[in-house]
Structure 1
Amino acid sequence: MAQEVHLDSSVGYALKQAAAALRTAMEAELEPLSLTVTQYACLELLGQRPGLSSAELARGVFVTRQSMQAVLQGLQERGLLSRSATAPQGRALPTRLTAAGTDLLGRASRAVAGVERRMLGDRSPAEVVRLRDDLAACAAALEGPAAQG
């Protein structure tokens, strides 16, 4: 007999609730900047790691390569990023933020940081580190060898 999942005690369900609430709050803060959560995540990655390819960005933002192409095209049309016309090696075109992209990223990062502060409330720095480490361990456990079987 399969064990029943009780939503009121399910860690997975609570995690899904937190993820949905976080996304909704981020969307509300990013909407006045005309950014989606995915566009923001793309800008944030490029701000921290200039020159990433679209495939690397897709993996980092958790979208398909096809979806990332549309995101990059939209951001490039807005003048927020630039892409080389030719690849320095292979086929991957490195992507970088423009000055306008860097400016918008700064405003968006401040907005998202405010959402995270609200989410974490009055938790101590040690509690925040523990939460982050616990969530990373959960993700690693599902990505490990046992997850393949």
Structure 2
Amino acid sequence: MTHVDHRTLPEELGVLIKETQAILHQRMDERLRPLGLSVAQYACLQALLDTPGITGSELARRTFVSRQSMNVLLQGLEKRGLIERSDEPGPRRERATTPTSAAVELTHRARADVAAVVGTMTGQLSTTDLDRLTALLAACRDALLAS
């Protein structure tokens, strides 16, 4: 018996995006693991470097984990000496988190590995195609955020 797929174009697009995201995550994990980082840890450190003073809630949103999971993730990074957290809670009872110099160095190395993965993913696209893909994906994201 042959399986015939009757997905609509929107369904197919949703599946394709999800498959791409899953493979991207897997390839990033393969490159980050030798550095002792998970994708979530890398995303957290990157967000801390990109946005000094970012709140724990925003960190959780940017790394696609719950606030509780973010707290566990931050505790692990703190034990490894990659972040420092203030003893005193600030606004909304959140403790300020800053990356250490070791985290800055590690994140820069990890960024190169992640860029290599993305380069592999987009290597067959022209600059025009890449610009268009970026614009289209941003428009899709923005449409979902506005709904």
**TM-score normalised to the size of structure 1?**
0.88
Say which of 107, 122, 125 aligns to 1:123: 125
- The structure in which a higher percent of residues are strand is 2
Gaps of 5+ in 2: 1-5
What is the CA–CA distance in structure 2 between the aligned matches of 1:79 and 1:137, rounded to whole Å? Answer: 39
Gaps of 5+ in 1: none
What is the CA–CA distance in structure 1 between the aligned matches of 2:37 and 2:70, rounded to whole Å? Answer: 14
**Number of the residue aligned with 1:22:** 24
Say which of 43, 63, 66 aligns to 2:65: 63
C-alpha deviation, 1:89, in angstroms: 3.4
What is the CA–CA distance in structure 2 between the aligned matches of 1:96 and 1:114, rounded to whole Å? Answer: 26
**Number of the residue aligned with 2:142:** 140
C-alpha deviation, 1:101, in angstroms: 0.5
C-alpha deviation, 1:100, in angstroms: 0.5
Report the secondary structure of 1:86's partner residue: strand
What is the CA–CA distance in structure 1 between the aligned matches of 2:97 and 2:15, rounded to whole Å? Answer: 36
Over 3 Å counting, the alpha-carbon distance change for 1:16 and 1:89 in structure 2 is closer
**CA deviation map 1:9-39 (0-9, x unaligned):** 8111111111011011001000101111000
Which letter does structure 2 place at the counterpart of 1:121? G
Say which is worse superposed, 17-26 or 80-89, in terms of deviation: 80-89
- State the 4+ residue runs in structure 1 displaced beyond 6 angstroms: none
C-alpha deviation, 1:126, in angstroms: 2.2
What is the CA–CA distance in structure 2 between the aligned matches of 1:85 and 1:53, rounded to whole Å? Answer: 15
Report the secondary structure of 1:82's partner residue: strand
Say which of 14, 17, 41 aligns to 1:39: 41
Report the secondary structure of 1:84's partner residue: strand
What is the CA–CA distance in structure 2 between the aligned matches of 1:51 and 1:6, rounded to whole Å? Answer: 44
Say which of 74, 79, 82 aligns to 2:81: 79
RMSD: 1.6
Equivalent residue pairs, number:
141
What is the CA–CA distance in structure 1 between the aligned matches of 2:101 and 2:82, rounded to whole Å? Answer: 7
Which letter does structure 1 place at the counterpart of 2:68? Q
Report the secondary structure of 2:89's partner residue: coil
**CA deviation map 1:88-132 (0-9, x unaligned):** 434121211100010110111010000000000131222112111
Instruction: State whether residues 50 and 97 of structure 1, in contact with CA within 8 Å, keep that contact through their aligned partners in structure 2.
Output: no
Which letter does structure 2 place at the counterpart of 1:36? S
